[in-house]
Structure 1
Amino acid sequence: MAFLLLLPFLPFVTSVLADQLSQEFDVLIKGGTVYDGTGAQARQADIALRGDRIIGVGEFGNAQAKSMIDATGLAVAPGFINMLSWSGESLIEDGRSRSEIQQGVTTEIMGEGNSMGPLNDAMKQRVVAEQSNIKYDIKWNTLSEYLRYLEERGVSANVASFLGATTVREYVIGLEDKQPTPEQLNQMRELVRQEMEAGALGIGSSLIYPPAFYAKTEELIELCKVAAKYHGKYISHIRNEGTRLLPALDELIRISREARIPAEIYHIKASGSANWSKLDEVLKRVEAARNEGLSITADMYTYPAAGTGLDACLPPWTADGGKPELFKRLRDPDTREKIAAEVRKPSNEWENWYIAAASPDRILLCDFKSEKLKPLTGKTLAQVAEMRGSDPVDTLMDLIAEDESRIGTVYFTMSEENLKKEIAQPWVSFGSDEASQAPEGPFLKSNPHPRAYGNFARVLGKYVREEKIISLAEAVRRLSGLPATNLGLDDRGFLQEGMFADVVVFDPETINDYATFEKPHQYATGMKHVFVNGVQVLRDGEHTNAKPGRAVWGPGKR
């Protein structure tokens, strides 16, 4: 069975002990309905904080503290963990994680395929060249140095990261479609060892995208064998979420089995209406693997639309050698003709997002690099094709070549019924698959997927309060205790004495998401107070500008 640590609910602190400790309280959260992160039934209790820790959960009578929070009628829970954050760049621009904190997220987990380190000189040059709305200097080399850089610079939420399998591959092999030599594979193993000992959580992959697509299963198994020695985890945007969904799932299970490593499916889904019926078999196979003794889990976002690049409509061979080579191919008439033919034709060799969307009016353009094309933000591919008097496939190739970027895009490819099935699974946690945002500055130059502002509030509002798919106690477990346990974060994720004081206070009757695909820059409401490492970052629904977040390290750190 998957390893789900069943932590006992600690006995409540007695009033006698409360009197003894009261002089030492920094914060006392009084009278709330406490959901401790284990999934246990909620109960009325007070929460006492001192420094960066929870020092008591119980009845504290008339005890006083430097800061008193009246939580009467409110839910008190452990801080939420975003299992799939793309905040690597956005936190450099604004460390306050405003869209995340507003929903109660206190820890952001990065590293879906690409991580912010390690970087060699060639990779640094590429990253700088591809920067879009957010510009920054690269002042680190390794992943652990990057996380320390964020902590020193100041962030409101805690940060942690998987080591990107794509990043490791690019560091050693480059962006070409080729397989590693034995010597190169040893270099890749050594990079994994170094970053695992420096605190990476495990290996993260994103196998639909080149150059990750070029990696064979055996390469991933070898990297995961190293991570497993440090109690790391394998987490993957599997190779196909549509036509080849089941073989892609089988690949993840094989990696888990052969590398002897826990594995998680990033944003579990069945993409494309022709594939929606496959979800039941996905759930069946995951349960079978768990019954076999493998630790297989998943995370998800709570919207029936995916967000990725417009270049996901193109066959993977087009990116062999990197983005400059892609743009050259798109400008070559003969090669364009070949690309267009493959885009229009269903394939079992790669996941075609143009086909999955079924229509260009279900492909929404959200993020352009060039100022010239930014006015197209918020329009569908069908609308832009009509404006230009061009075929949709020609239009998407033209746009990518003109913008010289992937072009952030939303694809409406999923089923609401399947979302509810996924939410109902006890081994599914939640991730936004977005960067932290704020409705100001460079963030307003593009339209993020609304999950950036609403994913976690949507769990508690739409799916718990309104649709009652799962209970509030279970939702809190999936937002906190489950991901903390899966990641090996032994001192976070639960409201228990001795844990780090990541605590949220919210109104379960009013918490709600407001971001839409048309107007995504809208904060969720209903979150009242948020503490990160004992410091209040949200007070009465307003950000305090405090930045107490820390780099959080994996269990293999030495």
Structure 2
Amino acid sequence: GWQIYPDAPPELEEANLRVTIDMITKRSKGELDITWDAIPFLVRGGYSVMPYLCSLLEPWLRELGSREALGKWLDVPDFRKEVYEAIRAGKWFIRVAYNPNTNPFWATNLTVTKSKVEGIDGKSVQEVAEMWGVDSWDAYCDIIVKDPDTRGVTGNLNYNPAYDQYYTHPKGMVGLDTMVSDDKRESESPPYGIPGINSFVAYPIFYNTYVKEKKTFTLEEAVQKTSVMAARVHNLAGRGKLEVGGYADIVLMDLPNLKVTANEIEPRKYPEGIKYVFVNGSPVVKEGKHTGVRPGRVLKRV
């Protein structure tokens, strides 16, 4: 689709996505079966969490040895200018959504989640800049100077009701584009990254949002979007549904009591309400606890 700036109201974004989907699906009327999966942008930091606002400055963190040292040096005008010019010259690449060199809205896509600096929790770097009357780069650096341990999260796609079309359309389903990590995973060296919330509770968030709260889908329809369709599209015979002779990949959840305990600051928390999980017929989760059994298989095309 088209990226609309500034952020579009739901009505305009809805039309944007509807036209985009129509362009895609008009080619899917013969032998060509076009489908898609979309990441549910219901929370920020879905894939990974910085976790510190200063984590984006990885080379200088490594060179100086600590967040505290970086904070002190960013208070030196010449050093601050040197870092900025290095980024502007492309010597250090930051992802496009929050790169001062490639995105004029980069500071809008960086949000402070927890800081000792009074009055900035929950605000974007751009909002802090406007509040302090400085440009966005100086606001970013000043936050780190005042509190090098300031926590932050990135995200340029906040939830918009128009995005529901990704899933309500008959050709659409859910995909995460994430990684598998345990709840202790953390990089010990800069940028100190930790896994994002989608690695732990993406599907519980989806079920809570679209089945329990918004009632967009029945439980059966949500299962189709998160399991059955994916297995069919990828030709995974015997998976994605309950049938005699199938591989018995089964999740038993207490939907009324399904609870997400993870958040943007600490995403490495498992949900409550997932009572049993069977993989290839073996119990992997029993009464909400991992059994230690690992019967999974690597699926490959031959």
TM range (shorter): 0.5 to 0.7
For 2:171, the equivalent position in structure 1 comes to 427
Q: CA deviation at 1:451?
A: 2.3
Q: 1:519 aligns with which of 258, 266, 270?
A: 266
Closer, same or farther: CA 465–360 of 1 in aligned 2, 3 Å? same
Give unpaired runs (5+ residues) of structure 1.
Answer: 1-240, 244-269, 311-322, 324-329, 344-349, 367-377, 398-407
Closer, same or farther: CA 352–524 of 1 in aligned 2, 3 Å? closer
Report the residue type matching 2:233 in the other structure.
Answer: N
For 2:182, the equivalent position in structure 1 comes to 438
For 2:16, the equivalent position in structure 1 comes to 278
For 2:228, the equivalent position in structure 1 comes to 481
Aligned pairs for 1:220-299 (under 5 A) are: 242-243=2-3, 273-274=7-8, 276=13, 277-299=15-37
In structure 2, distance between residues paired with 1:460 and 1:527: 12
Closer, same or farther: CA 331–297 of 1 in aligned 2, 3 Å? farther
Of the two structures, which has the highest relative contact order with CA contacts closer than 8 Å and spacing of 6 or more?
A: 1
Q: CA deviation at 1:409?
A: 5.1
Conservation of the 8 A alpha-carbon contact between 1:529 and 1:537: yes
Conservation of the 8 A alpha-carbon contact between 2:48 and 2:197: no
Report the residue type matching 1:296 in the other structure.
Answer: I
Conservation of the 8 A alpha-carbon contact between 1:365 and 1:379: yes
In structure 1, distance between residues paired with 2:242 and 2:233: 17
1:497 pairs with 2:244: yes
Conservation of the 8 A alpha-carbon contact between 1:502 and 1:532: yes
The superposition leaves residues 115-162 of structure 1 with CA deviations (integer Å, 9 ceiling, x where unpaired) of xxxxxxxxxxxxxxxxxxxxxxxxxxxxxxxxxxxxxxxxxxxxxxxx
Spell out structure 1 runs of 4+ moving beyond 6 A.
332-335, 383-386, 394-397
% identical equivalent positions = 23
Closer, same or farther: CA 392–334 of 1 in aligned 2, 3 Å? closer
Conservation of the 8 A alpha-carbon contact between 1:272 and 1:357: no
Report the residue type matching 2:157 in the other structure.
Answer: T
The alignment of Structure 1 onto Structure 2 pairs a total of residues equal to: 247
For 2:41, the equivalent position in structure 1 comes to 303
For 1:531, the equivalent position in structure 2 comes to 278
1:509 pairs with 2:247: no
For 2:290, the equivalent position in structure 1 comes to 543
Report the residue type matching 1:300 in the other structure.
Answer: A
Closer, same or farther: CA 295–524 of 1 in aligned 2, 3 Å? same
In structure 2, distance between residues paired with 1:383 and 1:363: 10
In structure 2, distance between residues paired with 1:495 and 1:415: 32
Conservation of the 8 A alpha-carbon contact between 2:279 and 2:296: yes
Q: CA deviation at 1:537?
A: 0.5
Aligned pairs for 1:360-371 (under 5 A) are: 360-364=107-111
Conservation of the 8 A alpha-carbon contact between 1:530 and 1:539: yes
The superposition leaves residues 320-371 of structure 1 with CA deviations (integer Å, 9 ceiling, x where unpaired) of xxx9xxxxxx9688675566xxx9xxxxxx96556879462541379xxxxx
In structure 2, distance between residues paired with 1:521 and 1:271: 33
Report the residue type matching 2:23 in the other structure.
Answer: R
Closer, same or farther: CA 451–271 of 1 in aligned 2, 3 Å? farther
Conservation of the 8 A alpha-carbon contact between 1:301 and 1:455: no
Conservation of the 8 A alpha-carbon contact between 2:35 and 2:171: yes
Report the residue type matching 2:17 in the other structure.
Answer: L
Aligned pairs for 1:381-396 (under 5 A) are: 381=125, 391-393=135-137
| Rg larger for | 1
Aligned pairs for 1:443-454 (under 5 A) are: 446-454=193-201
Closer, same or farther: CA 426–515 of 1 in aligned 2, 3 Å? farther
Give unpaired runs (5+ residues) of structure 2.
Answer: 50-58, 60-80, 114-121, 142-151
The superposition leaves residues 467-517 of structure 1 with CA deviations (integer Å, 9 ceiling, x where unpaired) of 111121111112211111111111211211111121121122222323222
In structure 2, distance between residues paired with 1:335 and 1:441: 31
In structure 2, distance between residues paired with 1:390 and 1:286: 44
Closer, same or farther: CA 302–336 of 1 in aligned 2, 3 Å? closer
In structure 2, distance between residues paired with 1:291 and 1:484: 21
Report the residue type matching 2:217 in the other structure.
Answer: I
Q: CA deviation at 1:422?
A: 2.0
Determine helix, strand or coil for the equivalent of 1:282: helix
Closer, same or farther: CA 273–382 of 1 in aligned 2, 3 Å? closer
For 1:471, the equivalent position in structure 2 comes to 218
